[in-house]
Structure 1
Amino acid sequence: MDDADTAGIYAREIDYLERYVQFGVASGRVISVSFPETAPEDASDTYDLLDRFERYCEGISEEDFADVEVGLTVPTGERKVLETLRQVGYGEQVSVAQLANMTPTLDPDDEQDVITVREALAENPLPVLVPDHRVRDGPSALPPQVEQQLRSLEDL
């Protein structure tokens, strides 16, 4: 079956991270990314994105995952921030203020807009695919150890 038609939970242990990566998929779109210490019993370890993520963690490929179809179910303001963040590529880094400036309709000098950016990062349901580890002074939805390992991998 083509990955575009898949739905389910996919997980694989990633040696570099010393834990699993887990993707939740519905209608061919990734709707969640997490890093559990064990995989659910009903998770499959066969999924193209797992292969790509593993190669990324092994340093074989410089991935930005911008082509992965995602389903963001977050408030509109936060969705705009997360969609903008997907444009920050492998090895690139931005600040919270830069991300606010890059996001249509947000002003980095408006305190409420900066709060929106920080909330979007903290509640990011798709870390790595929406690379909050590339925001140097913002919160991340990744477990702290995973965030540091990904930053190290990308020399951030």
Structure 2
Amino acid sequence: MNWENLLKKEFGEIILETKKINENGMIILDVKINSHDSKIVEKYTYLINNFIDRKVNTNLDFDYLSVSSAGLKIDYKIDELDKLINEYVEIYLNKSLNKKDLFIGQLLQNEENSILLKWNDKGQFKKQVITKDLISKIKKHIKI
């Protein structure tokens, strides 16, 4: 049975993917949904479980159902910086700038050849222009 098509038809684009996992002789239907909110994951776990019980109850080709969030994207490429405007990012440099190899701050602007970052330097907020040729890696910064 094509669970991905069936669940996407019923629930729409909230369903990202489905796959079957064989773990210790048990087959798990693993459903990833497009949400990071635990309440929404819980809601769709209930809805999907009820849908399977009501509509498909016979001839199930799995033993357990697992519904989870697809997770949060952390690593980005330079051409994806527009998605991170006003977000907190970690900018890793391949060559130091002002004696720093890593800047953590809020991305304010993404220009053709550079970015503008607002960062905290020992309690003082500063703005730093960083040319894109210095950037080796970009990560979304998650504050805990």
Coarse TM-score class (shorter-chain normalised): under 0.3
- Which structure's residues are more often strand, by fraction? 2
- Which structure's residues are more often helix, by fraction? 1
Structure of higher CA gyration radius? 2
TM-score normalised by the chain length of structure 2: 0.25
